[in-house]
Structure 1
Amino acid sequence: MGLVRGQMEEEMVPFTLMVIMEGCTIGLTIVTKTAMNGGMSPFVFIAYTNALGSILLLPYSFFFHHRGSEAQPLFTLPLMLRFFFLGLTGVAISQNLAFFGLYYSSPIVVCVMGLLIPAISFLLSIITRKAASDDKLEAKINPPLLIFYSTPDRWVLGSTLLAASSLSVCVWNIIQVGTIKQYPQVMKVVSFYSLAGTIQCSIFSLIMERNINAWKLKLNMELLLIIITAIFGSVIRSTVHVSCAEMKGHLYVPMFKPFGIVFATAFGLTFFTNSLHYGR
């Protein structure tokens, strides 16, 4: 009886955690987009969220691996180049494309287009002759930030941008697989490519948002959202994804992507009076 109960807990704990992660991700980003509709600059939000997330993630990653095995030196030219391109494809490009894609579509379209990631990854792995699904660290397959609510205006343009975002994530995923094989301490890899992506996002945001007043932070809901999003996306969700992938395998985390569609639909219809449209 105890053995059966232990096996049930082993299955239910990661399952429950992953469902909660999907629900929190959708709910938090819907609230964030609502704040953006109220005047918060999306470029400022992305830059500050990634900056704070990197500040939190860097010391946390060393604490996470403080009992791990010794890995090769971290600050080598090949690894630094990998961190640069991981940050570019997995943070800077994917986040900005995803945001503008959602701006022209809807939260459900964002979730559906995210389901293209496994298929595109498989095709790219064939093209590059690399078995991307052999590594456990496809865990952080979701971009750290996706905004999940907007009024659908231009569905074709929005879907195209989201497909491009998914392609960027797949390129990031292939680079990440090779990086983890060279340096298996995952959270350190995540922290350093997040730092690289933060720098790239900040440069882009400064170019796009030149209103100095938009960069001034105040003690209000916007600041609270930045702090919560940074803590959740960089530390909590990353830890859960990595832990579940190590326990259940690399395909376990992507299996929960369809839950995002359920949460996005439920939240949109319940709290934001969205309507469903047949044929889109």
Structure 2
Amino acid sequence: MSMESRTQLYKKVKPFVAIILVQLGHAGMSIIGKLALNKGMNPRVFIAYRYAVATVIIAPFAIVYDRKKRAKLTYSIFAKIMLLALLGPVAYQNLYYEGMKLTTATYSRALFNVVPAFTFAMAWILRLEKVNIRRRGSQAKVLGTIVTIGGAMLMTLVKGPSWIWPWTYKHGYQESTSAGNKQDVIKGALMMLAGFFCWSGYVNLQAITLKSYPTELSLTALITLMATLENTIVALAMEWRNVRAWSMRLDIMLLAVVYAGIVPTAFSIYIYGMLIKEKGPVFVTAFSPLSAILVAIMSSFILVEAMFLGSFIGAIVIIAGLYVFLWGKNQDQPLKSGAEKVDQLPKI
């Protein structure tokens, strides 16, 4: 194989390798985060610490590598960054972890598969995604979105018998912190769905922001900095009488904060920025089923979690709907690259 062929192959494979690594990081976060929450970690304080660590990690790289190419930070861009921090790190993270406390790691990650459908629907409403209902590709995108949302409702409302993995027979298994209360499971699912809607808004807004502020490292550092400030305000407001919530023990809690700050926050936001510029906003959410499968396997070993049959069937429906949507998107816009899509995004 010639050097030119290797270079072309590397360019084609790199985005897929990057997004798979991101999904691995998120899968690990679902497990470690659930363990920390089970140990009594306050979710709001955890999120504030998480983004503080991410800022400390990513800021030096942004200062060094972007010093000669950093775009001018206008009031408009700064407002977008504040909104990005509010939608993703604040609204999504707080809703997600509050919902996870009421369900399981497997359930929460499987439900995350609705994000591509939410992202598409929002992009369609905002006219960032073109749909011609007469074309098969557009019909598949709409059908996939409906099926995916239906699968999420199935996971939320249908319980059924427990799906116990063979290697958990010798141990007692946990369904969730409050799995015996169906109302808590539904409440947790609704909170996470609201968070996923905010995350979809974050992904679309990030694509728009990268048009006017294309330096990914600096954008990542600014998002994490604003997220730290906003999440600290939220945590102080919610826990102002609970000083002990801010204490940190040298156990899974500290490990969760450090891991979350580095891998699924600083690293992931930066990778998302690069991939959104190259492949478009929907691409970064298209690999959610991979992390759901990884979490299901990892949580069965580490957390000894069981899955309900309704959740299992709902997850399959979500994945099927997701790939119908992805097939339709590929058919609908076969000639447009992700970079071209970002270039066509409207300025705000």
TM-score normalised to the size of structure 2?
0.66
Equivalent residue, structure 1, for 2:295: 264
- What is the alpha-carbon root mean square deviation over aligned residues? 2.8
User: 1:88-142: CA deviations, max 9, x gaps?
Assistant: 111100000111121222223322332222222222223223349xxxxxxxxxx
Q: Which amino acid aligns with 1:274?
A: E
Equivalent residue, structure 1, for 2:215: 185
Q: Is the 8 A contact 1:113 1:166 kept in 2?
A: no
Q: Which amino acid aligns with 1:190?
A: T
Equivalent residue, structure 1, for 2:26: 25
Q: How does 1:104-183 map to 2 (within 5 A)?
A: 104-131=102-129, 150-151=176-177, 152=179, 153=181, 154-183=184-213
Return the index of the structure with the highest Cα Rg.
2
Q: Which amino acid aligns with 2:295?
A: A
**Runs ≥4 residues deviating over 6 A:** none
User: 1:144-170: CA deviations, max 9, x gaps?
Assistant: xxxxx9544522212211111111112
Structure 2: runs of 5 or more not aligned: 131-174, 312-348
Q: Give, in angstroms, the shift of residue 260 of structure 1.
A: 1.0
Give the direction of change, closer, same or farther, for the CA distance of 1:67–1:161 in structure 2 (3 Å limit).
Answer: same
Q: Which amino acid aligns with 2:196?
A: S
TM-score normalised to the size of structure 1?
0.80
Q: Which amino acid aligns with 1:63?
A: V
Q: Is the 8 A contact 1:54 1:234 kept in 2?
A: no
- Select between 44-53 and 233-242 the one with higher mean Cα deviation: 233-242
Paired residues in the alignment total: 262
Give the direction of change, closer, same or farther, for the CA distance of 1:247–1:126 in structure 2 (3 Å limit).
Answer: closer
Give the direction of change, closer, same or farther, for the CA distance of 1:195–1:150 in structure 2 (3 Å limit).
Answer: farther
What percent identity do the matched residue pairs reach? 25
The answer to whether structure 1 residue 61 and structure 2 residue 62 are counterparts is yes
Give the direction of change, closer, same or farther, for the CA distance of 1:12–1:181 in structure 2 (3 Å limit).
Answer: closer
Structure 1: runs of 5 or more not aligned: 133-148
Residue in structure 1 matching 2:244, options 206, 209, 213: 213
Q: Is the 8 A contact 1:101 1:157 kept in 2?
A: yes
Equivalent residue, structure 2, for 1:203: 233
The answer to whether structure 1 residue 279 and structure 2 residue 277 are counterparts is no
Distance 1:119 1:85 in 2: 21
Distance 2:101 2:14 in 1: 35
Q: Give, in angstroms, the shift of residue 186 of structure 1.
A: 2.2
